[in-house]
Structure 1
Amino acid sequence: MCGLLGMLCAHDDAQRFVPAIEQALPCMRHRGPDDSGTWHDETAVFGFNRLSIIDIAHSHQPLSWGPEGQADRYVMTFNGEIYNYVELREELEELGYQFTTTGDGEPIIVGYHHFGAAIVEKLRGMFAVAIWDTRERRLFMARDRFGIKPLFYATTPDGTVFASEKKSILSMAETIGLDKEIDVRALEHYIDLQYVPEPETLHCGIRRLESGCTATVRPGGQLEITRYFEPKFETVPVPVDEQQDLYDRIAAAMEDSVAKHMRADVTVGSFLSGGIDSTAIAALAKRHNPNLLTFTTGFEREGYSEIDVAAESAAAIGAEHIVKVVSPEEYADAIPKIMWYLDDPVADPSLVPLYFVAAEARKHVKVVLSGEGADELFGGYTIYREPLSLAPFEKIPSPLKKGLRRIGALLPDGVKGKSLIDRGTMPMEERYYGNARSFNFEQLKRVMPAARPEWNHTDVTAPIYARSQEMDPVARMQHLDLFTWLRGDILVKADKITMANSLELRVPFLDKEVFAVAEHIPYNEKIAHGTTKYALRKAMEQIVPAHVLHRKKLGFPVPMKHWLKGDELHGWAQDVIRDSQADDLIDKKACLEMLAEHRRGETDHSRRLWTVLTFMVWHGIFVEQRIDPRIEQRDYPVEL
């Protein structure tokens, strides 16, 4: 796990930008405190910070390689882990290639020489990679299928800059002539959805290479982007007498994935909450590490802690368990530094407990496994059951459905049946927008007067829906979430917050081979018998303790509603709003009114307030430069 930074220069004047790369590298030292290096020729500059996980003594980056007669033709920086690197190296050795390291990076660069861009199809893991071909004068970049690892880029007349973190590019803005103007449309999407959707960022000049995409660019040119991974969700009916075979295939895929994800030359632990996802991962990991350490976090407030259930799960699987309890004071104090690490705000309150449990875990291990992705792959969100309740509406002729919709619009809010009529007569493309939307347009205009009706969440969702026309309703929802909530919220916080603590997080559910099984599960095996992730639960019956098997997932719940209403965070929120200088973007008076309404208990504005508050803190750091995130340089042992 590492941080990469580089530039492909438009005018073969790379030497001019070497100092800027060297000066920008330290601002993401947290991604790789073990080693650092740079490389350049006349056209390209590569910089790298390394967190040593595999082949610790070797596999330094930037990594150069070339076939016989073309020494050092390719130069690569790579962030992530390739879990099938052993098998890939053996395949390439059989083709006649030789290796000088035992790490997972060299098979990528050798594989790129042999297979070209198709190497990404062979990679099983999480990655952001950049390879400069000095002979063809072409830069190749790629991200993993699900977007576990980030890759930002910016193109100016001086060339194309790319990095693991946006702040590295921002620190070079003056040198490369980058405009740091705020992207108001991306801000509207953020306020609407609680995250900035790919490929946008909150800066007009910086974008992200999307998940499952490759890109090529030549000196002075523009990126040519190609999507290599498009989930199909071609579900296959499963006869009753073949159901157990499905469950066995899921269990086998998960067993194999966790085994591969345990590959490391350092200690691997596991996050553990009270749900089936993290418990399944930890239970499988325990088979490969008898001394497994598990970690969880929670709050002192009753009903907002997974600590007791997680401890019970750890005891059941025989793992040593470590707990971090977070106070409201710690929570508020950590927010500025978390916003700095994030690059763009994410209005997910669970970011903060994740930060603290990651910091605690880093005292004991260098790698943790976690359960992200299970919901999107196996149908874990309760909303995925909605197509069942709305199925009768599918039989109603369109003219009659339109009439019902008009009737529903006349009914007062709160009248029984109004919501059902509204949603049942509304196309999925309009009613389902993922797991995050907390503002309707009227509420959005209240806090963001610059918002425009044409800037809507459908800007983000419509192109994704267009690619899922042939899928069943549940699969369409999963497909949408893979490209919105998963990569916009869940994986951003998973990467940025653990990396803030120089901790590598691995997600065995988001595995190429696991998805190959999950992609074909029919919807009735996802939402059967009044539950979610039914097939996964059946597959884990012999692996997960009984008290967790059918328990609702909570993750790291945060009492934000109560804290913003009470003394814990109300005063802090007032100060954030009053001190903010983002008046040209956000109506501070409207935000204070919302906070007062929430305090009085008139309306639960907690999600909307948190979205605005996190943006204001972000703005204070990156735009106003008024807030000091108090980032400390920390040194960790190379091995744990």
Structure 2
Amino acid sequence: MCGLVGYTGKQARHREILQKMMERIIHRGPDSSGEFIGDGVAFGFRRLSIIDLEGGSQPIYNEDGSVVTVFNGEIYNFQTLRAELEEKGHVFTTNTDTEVLVHGWEEYGEGLAERLRGMFAFLIYDKNRNVIYGARDYFGIKPLYYYRTDEGNYLFGSEIKSFLEHPEFRKRLNKRALRPYLTFQYSSLDETFFEGVYKLPPAHYFTLALGDGANEMKTVRFWDEDFSEVPGNFDKYVEEIDRTVHESVEAHRISDVKVGAFLSGGVDSSYITACLMPDKTFSVGFDYNKFNETDYAKELSDRLGIENYRKLITADECFDALPDIQYHMDEPQSNPSSVPLYFLAKLAREHVTVVLSGEGADEIYAGYEWYDETPLMRKYKKIPQFLRVAAADAAKRLPYFKGHDFIIKSSGRPEDYFIGQALVWHDKEALRVLKPDYRVGPSALEVTAPIYARVKGKPELDKKQYLDMNLWLPGDILLKADKMSMASSLELRVPFLDRVVMEQAEKIPHEYKINGKNTKYIFRKAANKTLPDEWADRKKMGFPVPIRYWLREKKYYDIVKGYFTSDYASEFFDTEELMKVLDEHYAGKANNGRRVWTVFTFLVWYKRFFIDETV
């Protein structure tokens, strides 16, 4: 696990620029650094030592030094790939997983990425071909950003903040990003909140030919999810799930340093913990009413004979840490669970360098309640579809009213209503509070339409899962997992988000996943083979955060009010409308907690990068 930076173009101060860029991401790799400076190409690297502690420093080169790579992540099948490449005559000089990339590029070319099993973002420069090749893993576990400068050069990095140190970077706010953010609570576009900075999408590689008249990037998708149910025996599917999960956990435990586990007490993290059986687990909760489930984590740890470390977080700690959290996120991210995850990673890093966690199970095994239909919706769907579609079309044209979402959801087309697991500000509400210059971004449905187009004609459940796998998972869940763990120099691994696990799970029949009684039903049955029954059937809690209650306390209301009434807030928002939303919540007249938090988070982020930051 590390952080990488890179750029093209000739600079008089290569080493100084690289050093400053690397210093911005030193938290990703505090153990060592490395650099490559070539003719018009420069790579930098910060290392967190996990495998081959003595010999794994980067950059890594091939035999004659003509191919060089910097790499962030872990390749779990590197030993198999190494054996294949050695049979073909390639000579290895280290024991690190990174070295398979340079020899794999020589052997497989652009087909390298699809041969890898793991989480990865990397850059390879081939001097002889004068080309840069880079790729990002199947699910988007590891981030990779790029930016084309006004001078025609490219910047690359694990984190956007490293670009701030490059003389050709122009820091400008992307006006199109704010409108969809208010609905999704995260940055949902390929172009980030920094104008011209793009995310390389998951399961994509790029090639960048250098030299006169070249310098154009080509991106290619090398893999895709395929939810296509295959009929089969229920018990056989249970056995297959249990086998693939255990095998994935074994692959993900490879390390030369201590490995622990995050444990919330829910089925996902509990299953991973019971498969891994680490020495230590880590849990956090809040010192507020019912927002503390650490007792469940402690109980399971005790049953398994594992030492559990836990921490209760206060509201003061959360508000104090929020600017730092948003700095590490690079873009505004208002999922409240970012806050406990930040503190959980800090706690774990006091004891271990690597943790396994349960992200991804809800997306691949259909665990979210939104995937199921309520009893009322099932009754409503007995009405002829043409009448339901007509009612939904009428509801779309009307201002928001109680029952608005229900009517649209029951029309039968996820494309018309399902945007993933977060819906904070309805689009019409967002437009009302935004200033005209910031209404230019796409609506939520315009963001989701190209993704739905790839699964046209598929069943409803497949469409919903596919959308979440391609929008919510990389844009929210995995991005905060990476950034919050790396803020504490902690490597976080996610065994459910493994290509082998996914390719087994996507075949599971719908009725085995959702059966009217529970979501991810068959997954729970598989987990029962390792866990006590009550754990496998526990209701999902995630990381509940008491923001609704905090924002009704004067101390925290005043903090938010200070941001809402600031001069820079009026650049983006009708601040009178914002204060109405805040005051209604404070007075208990409405539950606007998530809306308030989403705007507040954006303003905290903006202040950190555009007001406090002088670069």
| TMscore range, shorter length | over 0.9
What is the TM-score of this pair, normalised by structure 1?
0.91
Query: Contact 2:7–2:42 (CA<8 Å) still a contact in 1?
Result: yes
TM-score by length of 2: 0.95
Q: Write the distance in 1 (CA, Å) between the matches of 2:384 and 2:238.
A: 38
Distance (whole Å) between structure 1 residues aligned to residue 404 and residue 351 of structure 2: 53
How much does 1:397 deviate? 5.5
Partner of 1:631: none
Aligned-partner Cα distance in 1 for 2:320–2:60: 39
Equivalent positions of 1:570-585 (< 5 A) are 570-579=557-566, 581-585=568-572
Which residue of 79, 103, 106 maps to 2:96? 103
Aligned 8 A contact 2:264 2:270 in 1 = yes
Which of 26, 34, 49 lines up with 1:37 in the alignment? 34
2:163 paired residue number: 169
8 Å CA contact 2:140–2:203 kept in 1: the answer is: yes
1:429 to 415, 422, 434: 415
Contact 1:14 1:44 in 2 (8 A): no
Structure 2 CA distance for aligned equivalents of residues 100 and 402 of structure 1: 64
Question: Structure 1's 588 and 419: CA in aligned 2 closer, same or farther, altered over 3 A?
Answer: closer
- Unaligned residue ranges in structure 2 (runs of 5+): none
Structure 2 equivalent of residue 2 of structure 1: 2
**How has the CA–CA distance of structure 1 residues 183 and 454 changed in structure 2, closer, same or farther, with 3 Å as cutoff?**
closer
Distance 1:231 1:23 in 2: 39
Please state if 1:233 is matched with 2:219.
no
Q: Whole-Å Cα distance in 2 between the matches of residues 274 and 351 of structure 1?
A: 18
| Counterpart Cα distance in 2 of 1:453 and 1:30 | 35
Count of residue pairs brought into register by the alignment: 610
Asked if 1 retains the 8 angstrom alpha-carbon contact of 2:427 and 2:444, the reply is no
Query: Is contact 1:233-1:520 (8 Å) kept?
Result: yes
> Match of 1:458, SS?
helix
Give the deviation of 1:459 after TM superposition: 2.4
Q: Distance in 1 between matches of 2:446 and 2:401?
A: 29
Counterpart of 2:413, as a letter, is P
Q: 4+ residue stretches of structure 1 with deviation over 3 A?
A: 14-18, 387-415, 417-422, 451-454
Is 1:155 matched up with 2:148?
A: yes
Residue 407 of structure 1, CA deviation: 7.9
- SS where residue 586 of structure 2 aligns? helix
Deviation at residue 420 of structure 1 after TM alignment = 4.2
For residues 427 and 357 of structure 2, the distance between their equivalents in structure 1, rounded to whole angstroms, comes to 35
* TM-aligned CA deviation for residue 188 of structure 1: 1.3
Matched, 1:612 2:593: no
1:137-536 equivalence runs, <5 A: 137-156=130-149, 157-172=151-166, 175-176=167-168, 178-219=169-210, 220-238=214-232, 242-286=233-277, 289=278, 292-386=279-373, 390=377, 399-405=386-392, 420-425=406-411, 427-450=413-436, 451-452=438-439, 455-536=442-523
Q: 1:512 to 1:402 in 2, by over 3 A?
A: closer
Whole-angstrom distance in 2 between the partners of 1:419 and 1:19: 54
Give the deviation of 1:493 after TM superposition.
0.6
**Structure 1 residue 400, shift from structure 2 partner:** 3.2
Q: CA deviation at 1:517?
A: 0.7
2:116 is the alignment partner of 1:116? no
Seen in structure 2, the aligned counterparts of structure 1 residues 120 and 413 have a Cα distance that, compared at 3 Å, is closer
Percent same amino acid among aligned pairs?
39
**Residues 392 and 136 (structure 1), Cα distance of their counterparts in 2 relative to 1, 3 Å cut:** farther
What secondary structure does 1:486 align onto?
helix
Cα distance in structure 2, aligned partners of 1:626 and 1:447: 26
* Structure 2 residue corresponding to 1:21, chosen from 4, 18, 34: 18
SS in 2 for 1:141: strand
CA drift at 1:204: 1.2
The worse-fitting range, judged by mean Cα deviation, of 273-282 and 90-99 is: 90-99
Give yes or no for the alignment of 1:130 onto 2:123: yes
Distance 2:614 2:284 in 1: 27
SS of residue matched to 2:551: helix
8 Å CA contact 1:198, 1:210 repeated in 2? no
Residue by residue, what CA displacement relative to the aligned partner does 1:609-631 show, whole Å, maximum 9, x if unpaired?
Answer: 11100110111011112799xxx
Deviations 1:496-529 (A, max 9, x none): 0000000000000000110011111111111124
Q: Which amino acid aligns with 1:109?
A: V
Question: What residue in structure 2 maps to residue 59 of structure 1?
Answer: 56
Name the counterpart of 2:608: 621
Q: Deviations over 1:163-215 (max 9, x none)?
A: 0000001221xx11x33221111121212211001412101121110111001
SS in 2 for 1:36: strand
Are residues 57 and 577 of structure 1, via their aligned partners in 2, closer, same or farther at CA, if it must alter by over 3 Å? Answer: same
Change (3 A) 1:410 1:128: closer
Cα separation, partners in 2 of 1:510 and 1:412, compared to 1, 3 Å: closer
Give the root-mean-square deviation of aligned CA atoms: 2.2
Q: CA offsets, 1:445-468, max 9 Å, x none? A: 232122437720122200000001
Summarize the Cα distance change of 1:453–1:5 in structure 2 as closer, same or farther, 3 Å threshold: closer
Q: Please report how far the alpha carbon of residue 237 of structure 1 lies from its aligned counterpart in structure 2 after TM superposition.
A: 2.1
* Separation in structure 1 between the aligned mates of residue 576 and residue 114 of structure 2, nearest angstrom: 51
Counterpart secondary structure, 1:146: coil
User: Unpaired runs of 5+ in structure 1?
Assistant: 629-640
Structure 1 pair 438–465 and aligned structure 2 pair: CA distance change class (3 A): same
**Cα shift at 1:422:** 3.6
C-alpha contact 1:336 1:627 (8 A) present in aligned 2: no
Q: Is 1:274–1:555's contact at 8 Å kept on the other side of the alignment?
A: no
Residues 342, 419 of structure 1: alpha-carbon distance in 2 compared, 3 angstrom cutoff: closer
C-alpha distance in 2, partners of 1:210/1:412?
35
AA at the equivalent of 1:226: V
The CA deviation string for residues 512-550 of structure 1, in whole angstroms up to 9 with x for no partner, is 110011111111111124101111111111212222111
- Tell me if structure 1 keeps the 8 A contact 2:582–2:596: yes
C-alpha displacement of 1:391: 6.1
Partner residue of 1:78? 71
Residues 441, 453 of structure 1: 8 Å contact kept: no
Question: Cα deviations across residues 221-274 of structure 1 (Å, max 9, x unaligned)?
Answer: 121010111111111123xxx211111010000000000100000000000002
Counterpart amino acid of 1:182? L
Shift of 1:93: 1.7
Cα distance in 2 between the residues matched to 1:410 and 1:183: 29
Report if the CA contact (8 A) 1:14-1:45 is conserved: no
Verify the 8 A CA contact 1:346 1:614 in the aligned structure 2. yes
- The offset of 1:284, in angstroms, is 0.4
